[in-house]
Amino acid sequence: MNRYLDRLQQEHRRLNRLIDNCRSVARQSEMMSLKKLRLKIKDRIAQLQRSAGPVTP
């Protein structure tokens, strides 16, 4: 599950970069789609982190 979580976090960071580059008016619909996808990934990351329980060193 750690690898899956890492992959999701990498994808979330990638989407952040893409969204930052979609600031032009012509790409607003693309930006909205990317934001929806980013939110789904963020929710999934939070869900996985909650189910994993507390992190112990």
pLDDT at res. 1 = 66
What pLDDT score was predicted for residue 28? 79
Cα distance between the two ends of the chain: 18
Give the pair of three-digit tokens for residue 42. 């963020």
pLDDT, tens digit, for every residue of 1-57? Answer: 689 999 999 999 999 888 887 776 667 788 888 899 999 999 999 999 998 777 655
Domain that holds residue 48: 2-52
Output the CA torsion 34→39→45→51 (10° steps): -150
Is 57 part of any domain? Answer: no
Token digits of residue 7: 């992959």
pLDDT for the residue numbered 7:
94
What is the model's pLDDT at position 9?
A: 94
Q: Is 54 left (phi over 0), alpha (psi -120 to 50) or beta?
A: beta
Q: Render pLDDT for 14-24 as a digit per residue (tens, 0 to 9).
A: 998 888 877 76
Count structural domains, the chain.
1
In a domain, 24, yes or no: yes
In a domain, 11, yes or no: yes
**Residue found under tokens 């999701």:** 8
Q: Which amino acid is at 37?
A: L
